Amino acid sequence: MELNTFSIVARCAAAGHLGVAVATAVPAVGSMCPFTMAATGAVSTQSWVNPYLALAVLDRLAGGEDAEAALAAVLAEDEAADLRQIGVVDGAGRASAWTGAACTPWAGHIVGEDFAVQGNMLTGPEVIDAMAAAFRASAGEALDERLMRALEAGDAAGGDRRGKQSAALRVHGPEAYPLLDIRADEHPHPVGELRRILGIARLQLMPFVAHMPKRGQPAGPQPAAVTDVLALAPPDRPGGGGAYPAR
């Protein structure tokens, strides 16, 4: 499937977290494009999507290669590399990206310290310019917020020139499971919907994930403050009933 998409892959230097935010005019982009691995890397595979390329990049990163070397090696083995677009950041914050010559215009990428932004079938280069600027301007914020702001900036600048349908945000910490993996799979305003879901996740989901079992530590019960919230009906929880927190 051709996913004409805009995305950011990034690392939080302070926390070591890795993540991807992505939006497109195709359903369920979060099921196909973003890939992350704890302390290893984050990848977004788009245009003519090939998840095996993302997985191969992560395998190479886990084996000690940096983002640029891993991406170059994987693309060298792909006969359809001209149709691919991929962004990569490794666990040390080194980033790399590829936009094949056959990607649907406008297509391009920007690579910076701790991040890469990329997109194809966009309204123009202003989309990724805005994303890079928003990420840089939000230094000091948590990675989920920086990724969300970058996605919102790209959306506001024009985004996918066909329209809007889905968006996703994924952040990986030190554990094998992600800290956050949220999606708006089919919505007329998916980036705005993703922001709403993020607000609820911060109140209801992320406190639960923070107390899930950790590698090398004994598993214990969730704090009462967490279980008491989740015992409530969804409308009665913080952020429920349509009263969603502001950014």
pLDDT at 243: 45
Distance CA 201, CA 82 (A): 38
What is the tens place of the pLDDT at every residue in 4-26? 789 999 999 999 999 999 999 99
Q: How far is CA 161 from CA 102, 147, 152, 192, in A?
A: 17, 21, 15, 17
What is the tens place of the pLDDT at every residue in 204-236? 999 999 999 999 888 788 988 888 888 999 999
244 falls in which pLDDT band (50, 70, 90)?
Answer: very low
1 falls in which pLDDT band (50, 70, 90)?
Answer: low
Which domains does the chain carry?
A: 5-191 (3.60.20.10)
Distance CA 126, CA 120 (A): 12
pTM score, two decimals?
0.94
Residue 242 has pLDDT above 60, yes or no: no
Whether residue 53 contacts residue 84, with contact meaning beta carbons closer than 8 Å, is answered with yes
